[in-house]
Amino acid sequence: MPMRRFMILLPLVAIAAPAAAAGFNLPPRKPGQWEMKIQVDTAAMPPQIVRMCLDAETDKMLNDRFGGMAASMCSRQEQRTDGDAIILDSQCSLGQMQAVTHSVITGDFNSAYTMKTSVEMTGQRDAPGALDRVSPQGPSTQQTTIEATRVGECEAGMKPGDIDLGGGRVMNVRDMPAPQIQ
């Protein structure tokens, strides 16, 4: 997978992140226009801003598309609450690569939430699509923070399911095939 394609896929996974792993029971996001600021500590670039227009159907569709992928890759998925925070822990494999993920979600899914995720990856990077070219060998860690805010009703020209990745890259969740892990 070329670096450019990987960088496009990264925000898509982050968009679905609140319920990306099947088995997690998180509330749906309130319909409307959402703006997500995605900051990855290992990325040598400014935070990425993603805008999306959601209704109940497209929010569920987006989460279902990525949830199936997670269900087939993860041997452990646990969810608990700690006060107002939702804690998600998972252990997943992709080829010989293993990832242990810990996420803390605060806020609500009606107006704003923050998701802080820590991922520790180990093992041989032999993932499909030559992911080993963008992921170093040996143990590595990554911290990602997603700050999502509902900014109101969907903007003129955006329909439910539209995802604006910036730089003229707009797609609709209805047109996205389910991710395939081989």
**Residue 10 confidence (pLDDT):** 47
**Residue 8 confidence (pLDDT):** 41
Taking the chain (182 residues) in runs of 10, the rounded mean pLDDT of each run is: 40 50 74 95 85 94 72 84 94 85 94 94 64 55 94 96 92 80 52
Dist CA 94 CA 34 (whole Å): 30
**Residue 134 confidence (pLDDT):** 47
Treating both helix axes as pointing N-terminal to C-terminal, what angle do 3-16 and 56-73 enclose, rounded to 10 degrees? Answer: 110
**Residue 181 confidence (pLDDT):** 54
**Residue 19 confidence (pLDDT):** 44
169-172 and 74-82 strand pairing: unpaired
In the block, tokens 């993860």 appear at 74
Dist CA 17 CA 24 (whole Å): 11
Is the pTM higher than 0.75? The answer reads yes
